């Protein structure tokens, strides 16, 4: 589980998430899944960007919808 207090930055995906991301709900330090509206936004660690910025940077990779 990801440490919710650790700083991270989201790149890509819904702009609202990058401004004030909610706590990730699953995955590990290389992938995040965030519940957003009627689905999930999936992010993957961008190691090069993380090294350059000094904090974890996650790049958006895809979205899944919740079936109703």
User: Is 1 inside a domain boundary?
Assistant: no
Q: Over the stretch 42-51, which tens digit does the pLDDT of each residue have?
A: 999 998 887 7
pTM exceeds 0.85 for this model: no
Residue at 40 is within a domain: yes
Count of structural domains within the chain: 1
Strand segments (E) across 1-68:
8-11, 26-28, 31-36, 39-45, 56-65
Instruction: Say if CB 21 and CB 34 are below 8 A apart.
Output: yes
CA distance 31 to 39: 16
> pLDDT grade, residue 60 (50/70/90)?
very high
16 has pLDDT over 70 = yes
Q: Within a domain: residue 3?
A: no
Contact 67, 23 (CB under 8 A): no
The range of the structural domain enclosing residue 28 comes to 8-65
Least confident residue range of 3-7, 39-43, 53-57? 3-7
């Amino acid at each position: 589980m990801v440490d919710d207090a650790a700083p991270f930055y989201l790149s890509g995906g819904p702009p609202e998430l990058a401004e004030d991301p909610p706590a990730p709900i699953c995955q590990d330090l290389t992938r995040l899944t965030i519940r957003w509206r009627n689905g999930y936004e999936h992010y993957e660690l961008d190691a090069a960007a993380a090294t350059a910025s000094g904090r974890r940077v996650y790049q958006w990779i895809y979205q899944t919808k919740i079936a109703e």
